[in-house]
Amino acid sequence: MVKKYGITALLLFGVYVFVMYVYIFHSNSGGIPESLKGTVADPHVFMSEHELYLSEEYSKIKNFLFFVATPFEWLVYLFILITGLSQAFESWIPMKNKSAILQNAVYLFLLSLFIFIVLFPLDYYSYFLSKSYGISTQIFTSWMRDNVIGFWISFGTTLVIVTVLYWLINKNPKKWWINAGLLMIPFSIFLMFIQPVVIDPLYNDFYPLTNKELETKILTLAEQANIPANHVYEVIMTEKTNALNAYVTGIGSNSRIVLWDTTLNRLSESEILFIMAHEMGHYVEKHIYFGIAGYILTTILGLWLTAKLMPWIIARFGRGLKIKRINAIHSLPLFFLITSFLLFASSPLSNYISRYQETRADEYALQLVADPSAAVSTFQELTKAGLNEVNPPLLVKWFRYSHPTMLERIINVANETRTKE
């Protein structure tokens, strides 16, 4: 039975990898329509031949890795179950009579460490790839430090969630998902509140923007948009990446407007103001609150589906998966597998909603700063800095792009400009 499950999973994974390889490396999807060749949307206009070559190569490898990594993770979860490793991790707990959170901590540490080690080569290759193509500037020790910090943050938050989750499953095996979903609301809001002041500074150093003249102009834009902001923060990213970014993070009194120093160093003032106006568009359009509401709804729906699927899978395949009952901690890899699959399957919808919100933010930025040329040059610089595809293949766009493609964003600027004229 175990051998059959393992061979079937490997064959399916092999077929999937082959299909995705052919689609990404040998299909004719993507490219620039003939009508747009030679325009500001054409990468041949604003990128050198070398940049174009690197962008095409890097994008294909990066996209292929994305589509392989998540199903490979499912394979790891399946391996942990069918080989009995999950049961072994549970049996190795030395504190059988201690509190549930201590027992869960030992099990989760063993599980997390095993997954971290197995997936490390893939993570390292992604880092190596980014460094080879000039996106990452981070030295290995710094990258490893970020990985270790991420491991412990993930471990801590997951431990709280898992302990509460299995307590709820023990109390009510059929209705646990309702209470779990409701408890995720305050927990998620709490994490969003503390992220800018507790979590983010563990990875990077944040300072008030040193260019006070630029800060004044950004805060003037914020005042025009009726956004209560007193400071703009600069984060030192030069030692980690050549990519560009700016964002608004946190909620309530802990919300922050943040600019990467790479953005400050590479973009002109008008381009930076456009980016800031874009971020303000998210605030004005209340996207963060729609995002919280959407997250809560999808979390509850996902937990409901997981609560339906887990008992069915255990009843049908429990013997082969070495799972005795749903409320045993060794069933956790199955929970992770199901939720990971649901997240992957729902990503086209969540990305579509995100792209709509990003389009709205672009439109708002154009109204606020009224500088379409700055918008176009910003999109061009973002493409060059990240070696991004201007018009990726359809599946890549559906599953990977939370922002509109650069082709769409530049076309939208042109359309907005024509509408005003």
Answer yes or no: are the C-beta atoms of 310 and 331 closer than 8 Å: yes
Distance of alpha carbon 69 from alpha carbon 86, whole angstroms: 21
**CA angle in degrees (0–180, nearest 5) for 411-416-420:** 150
Residue recorded with tokens 């802990």: 254
134: tokens are 């000039």
Contact predicate 314/261, CB 8 Å: no
Tokens found for residue 380: 């061009």
**Within a 10 A sphere around the Cβ of 266, how many other Cβ atoms?**
17
Catalytic-labelled residue, pool 234, 279, 358, 408: 279
Nearest to 304 by CA among 165, 158, 174, 164: 174
CA–CA dist 414, 418 (Å, integer) = 6
234 with 259: CB under 8 angstroms?
yes
Q: What three-state secondary structure class fits 40?
A: coil
Spatial CA neighbour of 24 closest among 407, 400, 349: 400
Positive or negative torsion for Cα 187, 184, 162, 66: negative
Structure tokens, 78 = 């399946």
Q: Is beta strand 232-235 parallel, antiparallel or unpaired with respect to 256-260?
A: parallel
Burial of 8 (0-12, 13-18, 19+ CB in 10 A): exposed
Contact partners, residue 315, CB within 8 Å, separation at least 6: none
Question: Which residues neighbour 176 within 8 Å (Cβ) at sequence distance 6 or greater?
Answer: 165, 168, 169, 307
- Catalytic residue status for 285: no
Residues acting as catalytic residues: 279
